Amino acid sequence: IRALGTEAIYQHVQRYHDALEPVLLSRGFRSERSRDPAARSGILSAWPPQGIGVPALSQALNARGIATTTPDGRIRFSPHWPNALSEIPMVTAAIDAACAEVQS
């Protein structure tokens, strides 16, 4: 981490979020990511579409290898430096499958 530098890691995570957030929005999620780039963190929190429970969605994503947490009722994605932007299509497919599985 020291060799990469925290600023480079932060920028990488923001590029990952920049790619993932539109996927979520296009599927009816509501993002809580700050519109102000200076106020953003390494976590992308979102509310799923109506009819999709957060705990069930998180469990379905985790079963597909997509690590998420739900400490406050939102689904949280928190990629880090090992996560490549090339993963986004795989994450997208997992989101689609998980949402279809848990939608009530």
- What percent of the chain has a predicted confidence (pLDDT) above 70? 100
Whether 1 shows a pLDDT value over 90: the answer reads no
Strands (E), 33-86: 44-47, 75-77
Give the residue-averaged pLDDT of 78-103. 96
H helix intervals, the chain: 6-26, 54-63, 88-102
Q: What local confidence, expressed as pLDDT, does residue 32 receive?
A: 96
Whether 38 shows a pLDDT value over 80: the answer reads yes
Whether 102 shows a pLDDT value over 90: the answer reads yes
C-alpha–C-alpha distance, residues 2 and 4, integer Å: 5
Give the residue-averaged pLDDT of 50-78. 96
Whether 2 shows a pLDDT value over 80: the answer reads yes
C-alpha separations of 45 from 1, 11, 75 in Å: 24, 17, 6
Give the residue-averaged pLDDT of 5-28. 97
Quote the pTM value. Answer: 0.93
Mean pLDDT of the chain: 96
